[in-house]
């Protein structure tokens, strides 16, 4: 899939940004990545709300192999092949994928960036003295005068 094909494919959805990613492209709208176009196919962002739709179509989650194992990426699912011929329904699925990506972004909202402190020269640190042993003082006992 080349860039022009993807732009045409998402025409009914609306404007998308397409940038190089991995062995293909990342597809985003409103600054949120919601789809991946890779050699293995087109994958849309999914979550607990949309995964049942992908399963009903017989789609599978994105996966890739490393030397040691096969990694399953459950947050991206393969777009059903029939949608390549139905641009209106593809736009509906794309809107659902964008909504899933927005929900995921809200779930892991960053707490804010920590500001790095400037490196200050280290001040010599005085060694602490060992704590003095505390002596228990017993009050004076009054003696009765005889």
Contact 77, 1 (CB under 8 A): no
| Measured distance CA(33)–CA(107) in Å, rounded | 15
The CATH superfamily holding the domain 3-107 is YgaC/TfoX-N like chaperone (3.30.1460.30)
For the CA atoms of 6, 53, 13, 3, the dihedral, rounded to the nearest 10 degrees, stands at -10
Print pLDDT tens along the chain (146 aa).
788 899 999 999 999 999 998 789 999 999 999 999 998 899 999 999 999 999 999 999 999 888 999 998 999 999 999 999 999 999 999 999 999 999 988 876 666 555 555 555 666 666 666 666 665 655 555 555 55
pTM summary value: 0.70
Pairing of strands 32-38, 24-29: antiparallel
Closest CA relative to residue 101, chosen from 32, 42, 16, 54: 32
């Amino acid at each position: 899939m080349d860039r022009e094909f993807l732009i045409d494919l998402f025409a009914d959805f609306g404007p998308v940004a397409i940038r190089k990613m991995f062995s293909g492209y990342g597809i985003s709208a409103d600054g949120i990545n919601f789809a991946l176009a890779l050699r293995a196919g087109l994958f849309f962002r999914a979550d607990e709300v949309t995964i049942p739709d992908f399963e009903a179509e017989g789609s599978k989650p994105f996966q890739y192999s490393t030397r040691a194992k096969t990694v399953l990426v459950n947050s991206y699912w393969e777009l059903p092949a029939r949608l390549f011929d139905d641009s209106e329904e593809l736009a509906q699925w794309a809107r659902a994928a964008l909504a899933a990506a927005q929900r995921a972004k809200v779930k892991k909202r960053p707490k804010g960036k920590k500001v790095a402190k400037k490196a200050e020269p280290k001040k010599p640190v005085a060694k602490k003295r060992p704590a003095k042993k505390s002596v228990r003082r017993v009050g004076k006992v009054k003696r009765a005068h005889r």
